[in-house]
Amino acid sequence: MAAKVSLTMDRGLFKAGERVCVAVSGGADSVALLLALVEANTESAQNKTPLGVVLRAAHVHHGLRGAEADGDEEFVREVCERLGVPLTVFRVDTAARQAAEGEGVEEAARELRYEALRGLMSSGAVDVVATAHTLDDQAETVVMKMLRGAWTEGLGGISPEITGLGAGRIVRPLLAVRRVEVEAFLNERSQGWRDDVTNQDVSLTRNRVRHVLMPMLREFNPGVDALLARTAEVAREEEAFWQAEVARALPQVLLPGKPVRGGGRAVSTAVGEVGYAIEIERLRAMPAALRRRIVRAAARKVFADAAEIYVLGGEETAKVLALAGFGGVGGAVTGKIGSRLELHGGLRVERSAREIRLWRQG
């Protein structure tokens, strides 16, 4: 008898005894991941070394698409019941989140979804959350990041594993799998799935990339998806190297506050002010690649106590460096003593004779 179609799932992301929750939307990718994990967790002639994890599933109803979304939930319930996998259903109000945060529907839904899944981990109910991102998703993400001018941390796309969440991990075991393989896997098992009609709406950025741009890129290079996925892997490795380099170099060049007459430094000059400075000659001695990253890390340091990580964009980073005398951007005055910049989030930058100072009013 011919062997069943299998998925190239990264089993190394799981450890025996872990409680693993699969995020299941009802779409092909997530249903395939759930089914593949059930099979991988079951001893058989094809699988002589089961994963040995404790499986459960979670489904997030976003409060959108009315009866269609209700149908997705019912479908997921039926699949989980048939597979003997416990299911947790979350109901969230995406429209309310959009109104409160001024986010797009995609962003609001994603944030609420991950908030619910992280809550499962922080409650102690599960150790790992598995999501069904595929190689196609990875390629689309890298293209979207490139179009938005991302740095290497952005070009790294979807990470196979996210740690540092305190209570658990998020893993993506299908990042080496193409979407066509997912459908072949399900079809062979006569397992259906739900199609979200909004996935065809090309007014949404990801759908436009998926249905318009990616097919055009495949005309130039049929292997572009795998190429972009390799680009993401290289970018993640590069970023890991640079993070270590910046962590080593930053304490040596970052100065608190601002200089005062007679020597020494004032940590702050106003109530709630947070600021750091970098000597321009220290920057001049660095390779350009490290110089850029030091400036961005200094900006993050200024906002270290903020709720979200502060990200200084490429154009803004170039403007800060221009202020320090390292080339002009967009007509900016280069290296003029006393010049100032006001950047997003309330970050301010000032050039003195010897330093650039980055600060914000807390």
Per-residue pLDDT tens digits for 194-240: 988 888 888 888 899 999 999 999 999 999 999 999 999 999 999 99
pLDDT given for residue 311 in this prediction: 84
Helix (H) or strand (E) holding 120: helix 105-122
Give pTM, 2 decimals.
0.85
Higher-confidence residue: 73 or 259? Answer: 73
Domain residue spans of the chain: 11-239, 257-361
pLDDT, average across residues 24-30 = 95
Q: What is the structure's pLDDT at 3?
A: 54
pLDDT above 50 (res 331): no
Q: What percent of the chain clears pLDDT 90, i.e. is strictly above it?
A: 54
Strand partners, 361: 273
pLDDT of residue 1: 44
Q: Helices 28-40 and 179-188 sit at what angle, rounded to 10 degrees?
A: 60
Q: Coil, helix or strand for 196?
A: coil
Q: Which of 69-83, 135-149, 162-176, 209-223 has the least mean pLDDT? A: 162-176
- Classify burial at 23, counting beta carbons within 10 Å of its beta carbon; exposed 0-12, middle 13-18, buried 19 or more: buried
Evaluated on CA atoms 184, 186, 187, 193, the torsion sign reads negative
> Is 315 or 229 the better-scoring residue by pLDDT?
229
Q: Are 157 and 235 in contact (CB under 8 A)?
A: yes
Burial 54-63 (b: 16+ CB within 10 A, else e): bbbbbbbbbb
Q: From residue 133, give the alpha-carbon distance in Å to each of 9, 172, 331, 348.
A: 11, 6, 42, 38
CA distance 153 to 282: 25
- pLDDT bin (cut points 50, 70, 90) of residue 274 is confident
Tokens of 178: 């193409």
Task: Compute the average pLDDT of residues 275-284.
Answer: 90
Neighbour tally for 160: CB within 10 Å: 19
Output the pLDDT for position 338: 86
Task: Report the residue count for the chain.
Answer: 362
Question: Mean of the per-residue pLDDT values for the chain?
Answer: 88
pLDDT, position 172: 97
The CATH H-level (homologous superfamily) assignment of domain 11-239 is HUPs (3.40.50.620)
What pLDDT was estimated at residue 228? 96
Percent of the chain whose pLDDT exceeds 70: 92
3-state SS of the chain: helix, strand, coil percent to 5?
45, 15, 40
pLDDT at position 269 over 70: no
Q: How far is CA 131 from CA 27, 144, 216, 242, 307, in A?
A: 12, 20, 28, 27, 25
Q: How confident is the model at residue 263 (pLDDT cuts 50, 70, 90)?
A: low
Tell me, what amino acid is at 49?
Answer: T
pLDDT of residue 38: 96
Mean pLDDT of 42-58: 88
Least confident stretch, 90-104, 116-130, 154-168, 258-272: 258-272
Top CATH class of 257-361 equals alpha beta
pLDDT confidence bin for 267, thresholds 50/70/90 = low
**How far is the C-alpha of 352 from the C-alpha of 106, rounded, in Å?**
43
Q: Is there a common fold for 11-239 and 257-361?
A: no
**153/242 Cα distance (integer angstroms):** 10
Region label for 263, one of left (φ > 0), alpha (ψ between -120 and 50) or beta (otherwise): left
Averaged pLDDT, 293-300: 92
pLDDT digits 0-9 by tens, 109-123: 888 898 889 989 999
| Model pLDDT, residue 307 | 66
- Is the pLDDT assigned to residue 334 strictly greater than 80? no
